[in-house]
Amino acid sequence: MNIAKRLALLIAIAMVCLLGVGSISLIQMGQINNKLTDVTGKAMPSISIIDQAAIDFYELGLMAQSHALTKQVTEKASYDKHIQELKIKLSEGLAQYQKMISDDKDKAMLEADQQSINAYLKALEPALANSRDNMNEEAAAVLTSIRPLQQTAIDALVEAAQKPGNHA
Sign of CA dihedral 96, 97, 103, 107: negative
For the chain, how far is it from start to end, CA to CA, in angstroms?
Answer: 60
Per-residue pLDDT of the chain (168 residues; tens, 9 = 90+): 799 899 999 999 999 999 999 999 999 999 998 888 876 776 677 778 888 888 998 899 999 999 999 999 899 999 999 999 999 999 998 888 888 877 788 788 888 888 889 999 999 999 999 999 989 899 999 999 998 888 888 888 777 766 655 444
Q: How far apart are CA 73 and CA 131, in angstroms?
A: 10
Rounded to the nearest 10 degrees, what angle do helices 136-145 and 104-132 cross at?
160
b or e along 1-26 (b: 16 or more beta carbons within 10 Å of the residue's beta carbon)?
eeeeeeeeeeeeeeeeeeeeeeeeee
pTM: 0.71
Is residue 163 within 8 Å of 100, Cβ to Cβ? no
